[in-house]
Structure 1
Amino acid sequence: MERGQRADLFRSQWHCVIPMAPGTLLSDAQAMFAHGVEAVLGDRLIIDSVSFDETAMLIADHSIRKDSFDRFVVVGAGKASAAMAAGISEVIRNHLTTDSGLDFPVIGHVNVPQGCHRDLPGITIQEARPAGVNEPTVAAIEGTDRILQLVADAGPRDLVIGLISGGGSALLCRPSPGISLDDKLTVTRWLSSHGADIVALNTVRKHLSDVKGGGLLRANRAGQFLTLVLSDVLGDPLDLIASGPTVPDTSTAMDALAVLDRFDPDHQLPHVVREHLKQAADHPASTIAATDHSTFVLGNNAVAVDAAGITAEALGYNHVMHCHRQSEGDAESVGRHLADLTLTMLQADPAVHRQDAFLSGGEPTVSLADASIRGVGGRNGQLVLAAYARLLELNLTDDQWSRLAILSGGTDGEDGPSDAAGGMIDGDVHRRIMELGLDVHDAMRRNDSHGFLRQVGGLLLTGPTGTNVCDIRIALVDHPKHRRHST
Structure 2
Amino acid sequence: MRSAKYQELWPVNKPRQDATEIWTAGVDSVRAEGLVRREVQVDGDVLSIHGHAFDRSDFDRIVVVGAGKAAVAMATGFVGSAAAWRPITGWVNAPEGTMADAPSDQQVGGIRLHPARPAGVNEPTPAGVLGTGRILDLVAAASPRDLCVALISGGGSALMPAPADGVLLADKLAVTRFLSSAGADIVQLNTVRKHLSAVKGGGILRRCRAGHLVTLVLSDVLGDPLDLIASGPTVADTSTAKDAIDVLRRFDPDRELPAAIYQTLEAKQQAADAVALDNVAGAVTDPSIGREVPNSVFVIGNNAVAVDEAGIQAESLGYNHVMQVARQCEGAAEDVGHHLAKMIVGMLRSDPADHRLDCLITGGEPVVALAPPETRGRGGRNQQLVLAAYEALLKIGLRSEEWDRLCLLSGGTDGEDGPTDAAGAILDGDVHRRAQALEWNVADTLARNDAYTFFDAAGGLLITGPTGTNVCDVRVALVSPPN
CA distance in 1, matches of 2:375, 2:117: 26
**Residues 24 and 288 of structure 1: CA distance in aligned 2, closer, same or farther (over 3 Å):** farther
CA distance in 2, matches of 1:471, 1:383: 11
CA distance in 1, matches of 2:242, 2:80: 43
Q: Which residue of 2 aligns with 1:307?
A: 309
- Cα contact 1:376–1:449 (8 A) shared by 2: yes
> Which of 80, 94, 98 is 1:116 aligned to?
98
* Residue-by-residue CA offset, 1:223-246 (whole Å, 9 max, x unaligned): 111000000000000000000000
Q: Which residue of 2 aligns with 1:47?
A: 37
> Which of 377, 396, 419 is 2:398 aligned to?
396
Q: Which residue of 2 aligns with 1:256?
A: 244
Q: Which residue of 2 aligns with 1:6?
A: none
Q: Which residue of 2 aligns with 1:25?
A: 15
> Which of 64, 71, 76 is 1:81 aligned to?
71
Q: 1:23 offset after TM fit, Å?
A: 5.7
Q: What are the residue-to-residue correspondences of 1:142-221 with 2, within 5 Å?
A: 142-221=130-209
Q: 1:43 offset after TM fit, Å?
A: 0.5
Q: 1:291 offset after TM fit, Å?
A: 1.1
Q: 1:53 offset after TM fit, Å?
A: 2.0
* Residue-by-residue CA offset, 1:82-133 (whole Å, 9 max, x unaligned): 100000000013xx2xxxxxx5111000000011123212110011101111
* Residue-by-residue CA offset, 1:160-191 (whole Å, 9 max, x unaligned): 00000000000111100110000000000000
> Which of 442, 445, 456 is 1:443 aligned to?
445
CA distance in 1, matches of 2:395, 2:184: 29
Secondary structure (helix, strand or coil) at the match of 1:480 reads coil
Task: Tell me which moved more, 279-288 or 114-123.
Answer: 279-288
Q: 1:56 offset after TM fit, Å?
A: 2.0
Q: 1:399 offset after TM fit, Å?
A: 1.6
- Cα contact 2:40–2:82 (8 A) shared by 1: no
Secondary structure (helix, strand or coil) at the match of 1:424 reads strand
Letter in 2 for 1:238: L
Letter in 2 for 1:451: T
CA distance in 1, matches of 2:114, 2:161: 14
Q: Which residue of 2 aligns with 1:338?
A: 340
Q: 1:299 offset after TM fit, Å?
A: 0.1
Q: What are the residue-to-residue correspondences of 1:283-302 with 2, within 5 Å?
A: 283-284=271-272, 286-287=288-289, 289-302=291-304
CA distance in 2, matches of 1:474, 1:317: 12
Unpaired runs of 5+ residues, structure 1, are 1-20, 97-102, 482-487
Q: Which residue of 2 aligns with 1:361?
A: 363
- Cα contact 1:354–1:478 (8 A) shared by 2: no
- Cα contact 1:317–1:354 (8 A) shared by 2: no
Letter in 1 for 2:296: S
CA distance in 2, matches of 1:182, 1:329: 28
**Residues 428 and 355 of structure 1: CA distance in aligned 2, closer, same or farther (over 3 Å):** farther
The TM-score with structure 1 as length reference comes to: 0.91
Q: What are the residue-to-residue correspondences of 1:231-250 with 2, within 5 Å?
A: 231-250=219-238
> Which of 126, 130, 133 is 2:118 aligned to?
130
Q: Which residue of 1 aligns with 2:429?
A: 427
Letter in 2 for 1:210: A
Q: Which residue of 2 aligns with 1:13?
A: none
- Cα contact 2:350–2:356 (8 A) shared by 1: no
- Cα contact 1:369–1:447 (8 A) shared by 2: yes
Unpaired runs of 5+ residues, structure 2, are 1-10, 273-285
1:62 aligned to 2:52? Answer: yes
Q: 1:355 offset after TM fit, Å?
A: 7.3
Letter in 1 for 2:47: M
- Cα contact 2:39–2:51 (8 A) shared by 1: no
**Residues 116 and 281 of structure 1: CA distance in aligned 2, closer, same or farther (over 3 Å):** same
Q: 1:465 offset after TM fit, Å?
A: 1.0
The TM-score with structure 2 as length reference comes to: 0.92
What is the aligned length?
A: 453
- Cα contact 1:355–1:478 (8 A) shared by 2: no
**Residues 355 and 200 of structure 1: CA distance in aligned 2, closer, same or farther (over 3 Å):** closer
CA distance in 1, matches of 2:51, 2:89: 26
- Cα contact 1:214–1:288 (8 A) shared by 2: no
Q: Which residue of 1 aligns with 2:482?
A: 480
* Residue-by-residue CA offset, 1:408-454 (whole Å, 9 max, x unaligned): 00001111011100111111111111111001111100000000110
- Computed over aligned residues only, the root mean square deviation of the Cα atoms, in angstroms, reads 1.3
**Aligned residues with identical type, % of pairs:** 57
* Residue-by-residue CA offset, 1:257-288 (whole Å, 9 max, x unaligned): 00000111111101110110000111247346
Q: 1:289 offset after TM fit, Å?
A: 3.6
CA distance in 1, matches of 2:70, 2:451: 26
Q: 1:65 offset after TM fit, Å?
A: 2.2
